[in-house]
Amino acid sequence: MKLKELWKERQQMVESALAGELNKKSPIDKTLTESMEYSLMAGGKRLRPVLLMAAADALGADGTKFLKTGIAIEMIHTYSLIHDDLPAMDDDDYRRGKLTNHKVYGAGMATLAGDALLTLAFEVMLRQDGVDADTLVKVVREMSVAAGPDGMVGGQALDVESENKQIDMDTMRLVHMGKTGALFRAAIRSGATLAGATEAQLAALTEYADKFGLAFQITDDILDVIGDEAVIGKPVGSDEKNHKSTYVTLTSLEEAKKLAQETADEAVAALKDFGPEADFLRELVSYLVDRNK
């Protein structure tokens, strides 16, 4: 099955599973549930759960068996988007082509919706079946670290402190490793762990994940300059508006494009010892980088 076909099939599985989880809830507060659903079901690439399943596939397992853990990481990702859009953060008006959560439900309810999705994610994750308890604990710890002060939240904090400042490349890499890269890393490592990866396999997939996250971020910076808002689903030029340093501002547009391609090639090289089961991962990183061309 081709990349886009498999990706679409897995996206649809994620959409259905997410809707099923929300339908199970008997809310204390109806507005909170509506706010959660508004952002969680707003579409998007569903890249993190797709990556989790693809990492398991690369080891010869059936990644779809770990869909429950995949939708949990999508809940964590969605919570981060809701909070990132808040007036006290990036103060964005649109996300995925729709008004941001706080523009519809207010900043207070949006904050609570993000909080609720984060905590619900771990409850959902712990309902993953077909996995022994020790493995599940490893995955929960992986996700917790990735989402917390040593990962995504830490990157967000450094990003807030870096606004309106000229930062160097090393600091920017720390921001992106936490804010963007940590969940990609957790998704791929979790999929590998659930599939029973050896230490060598886990190390190779971790290398791929780190390069993938970097290539994704560089491309995201490029698209913020030259992208089509109707295609990428969010306003272009938001980095400039918020006076943020990016790979484009610290180098140049052409240099950023070159670095994105080099990093994608390094990601593919990390999978040299894997067979055709890892072709989706190989093709995915190349496809994402090609969006900036």
Residue 238 has pLDDT above 70, yes or no: no
In tens, the pLDDT along 27-55 reads 789 999 999 999 999 988 999 999 999 99
The average pLDDT across 90-114 equals 94
Q: Which CATH class is domain 3-287?
A: mainly alpha
What is the total residue count of the chain? 293
With a pLDDT cut of 90, the percent of the chain lying above it is 75
Does the pLDDT value for residue 87 go beyond 90? yes
Helix H segments across the chain? 3-23, 30-40, 47-58, 67-84, 101-105, 107-125, 133-147, 152-162, 169-176, 182-194, 199-226, 229-232, 238-241, 247-250, 253-269, 279-290
Contact indicator for 192, 214 with CB cutoff of 8 Å: no
94-95/98-99 β-pairing: antiparallel
Residue 292 identity (one-letter amino acid): N
Predicted confidence at residue 282, as pLDDT, reads 96
What are the sequence ranges of the domains in the chain? 3-287
What pLDDT is attached to residue 85? 95
Residue 240, pLDDT > 80, answer: no
113-122, 129-138, 216-225: which has the minimum mean pLDDT? 216-225
- Lowest-confidence segment of 3-7, 144-148, 245-249, 276-280 by average pLDDT: 245-249
Query: What residues are paired with 77 via a beta bridge?
Result: none
CB 92, CB 85: distance < 8 Å: yes
Q: Name every residue whose Cβ is closer than 8 Å to that of residue 26 and which is 6 or more positions away in sequence.
A: none
